[in-house]
Amino acid sequence: MHATQTTADTLGNRPRCVVILAVLAFGCQEYTISAKSGVESTIDTATTTPAADQETATLEDTGCRAEDEVCDGRDNDCDGEIDENLWQACTNCLGGPGKTVQCLDGVYEPCPVPMDLDPQILDFPETVDECLWGTLGNLTPVDGGLQARRDQSQRIWVPDGTLLCSLEIESTTKVIQFDDHLFLTLNGIYLLGSVHIQPLLTPIEEFYQYRWTDIAGVNNNTLVQEVFCASGYSTCELPQSQTKGTVSLAFSPSGNQALMEAATDLSSSDYVVGLTMTGDNDRSDCQHSGLRLEARVTYEERD
């Protein structure tokens, strides 16, 4: 006698590809097949909440309402982070863009402030040799002319990556004497001189850029024979040619800011004080007694 097969036996012996067909046919519904009872249950995965929606729901449950992030120690934009990626630009000591600071713990880091350096000594040794006539851009001797010059320079030191904010120069030498004319410059800006050569120079805003080539060969008698002080000074002293006197130079706050801006535009890393002596045709020309200057400066960190 042949035994009669039941439905469960028939399903149990058939290939299980029916599971795959069920998934293909019904998409998101998953079927579980039982050898005893056929299709036992279904799970509808289409109703499962995505993880992103769960996170949003969690944030909404906490009462967070997203706003632009501000530096206040709170999570304004509801992203789980506080004061992230908030930066603020400072204004430097010359009124321009300065260092960029970050928001930390609800407040921005402090902006840099000008710092003092110890006074720096700028030594310009006495010159005793006559002018180098006819060399290095100098001309041959002519009575009354600006025919030759001798240059000296001293660098003002500031830390790397910083900005010079203010400058005061004062002579620690009680008496100086020179022949013919003396010019003092900062990065080529005409600061102080024994004669008015500025009409011959290139203007840089309210200052003048000194170049020997602009004045070489000019008749000294056509120039105003008075001490020149750069714009914005508060103290300015220099003796006339071939007379004895002291040297000092300081600027008002507004004049100092303008000077530092102009000097920084010409050189963003070095600050050089230049001393130039001129001569016309005498053996004593291009000479000065020893001069020692004391420079007092403030500086600020760059970004």
pLDDT in tens, 190-212: 999 999 999 999 999 899 999 99
Q: Is 152 exposed, middle or buried (0-12, 13-18, 19+ CB in 10 A)?
A: middle
**Do residue 196 and residue 90 come from a single domain?**
no
**Do residue 293 and residue 182 come from a single domain?**
yes
Whether the pLDDT of residue 153 is over 60: the answer is yes
Mean pLDDT across 166-181: 90
**Do residue 69 and residue 213 come from a single domain?**
no
Average pLDDT, the chain: 81
Q: Which residue has the higher pLDDT, 215 or 10?
A: 215
Q: Confidence band (pLDDT; 50, 70, 90) for 288?
A: very high
Q: Is residue 56 part of a domain?
A: no
Q: What confidence score (pLDDT) does residue 170 get?
A: 85
Q: Is residue 54 part of a domain?
A: no
Beta-carbon count within 10 A of 20 CB = 10
**Do residue 39 and residue 99 come from a single domain?**
no
Whether the pLDDT of residue 25 is over 70: the answer is no
Q: Is residue 58 part of a domain?
A: no
Number of H helices, E strands in the chain: 5, 20
Q: Is the entire prediction scored with pTM above 0.85?
A: no
**Do residue 102 and residue 126 come from a single domain?**
no
Mean pLDDT across 20-42: 41
Mean pLDDT across 5-11: 43
Q: What confidence score (pLDDT) does residue 146 get?
A: 97
Mean pLDDT across 221-248: 91
**Do residue 146 and residue 292 come from a single domain?**
yes
Q: Which domain holds residue 96?
A: 64-108
Q: What confidence score (pLDDT) does residue 303 get?
A: 65
Number of domains in the chain: 3
Q: What confidence score (pLDDT) does residue 268 get?
A: 61
What 3-state DSSP class applies to 124?
Answer: strand
**Do residue 211 and residue 127 come from a single domain?**
yes
Taking a C-beta distance cutoff of 8 angstroms, is the pair 292, 161 a contact? no
Whether the pLDDT of residue 45 is over 60: the answer is no
Mean pLDDT across 122-143: 95
Percent above pLDDT 70 for the chain: 78
195-215 burial: b if 16+ Cβ within 10 Å, else e: bebbebbeebeebbbbebeeb
Q: Which of 41-45, 52-56, 186-190 has the highest mean pLDDT?
A: 186-190
Percent above pLDDT 90 for the chain: 47
Q: What confidence score (pLDDT) does residue 226 get?
A: 93
To the nearest 10°, report the CA torsion of 191, 194, 196, 200: -70
**Do residue 261 and residue 167 come from a single domain?**
yes
Q: What confidence score (pLDDT) does residue 168 get?
A: 87
Pairwise CA distance, residues 102 & 143, whole Å: 64
Q: What confidence score (pLDDT) does residue 6 get?
A: 43
Q: Which residue has the higher pLDDT, 53 or 257?
A: 257
Pairwise CA distance, residues 238 & 277, whole Å: 14
Q: What confidence score (pLDDT) does residue 162 get?
A: 84
Mean pLDDT across 23-47: 43
The residues with which 204 forms a beta bridge, in sequence order, are 207
**Do residue 39 and residue 162 come from a single domain?**
no
Q: What confidence score (pLDDT) does residue 152 get?
A: 97
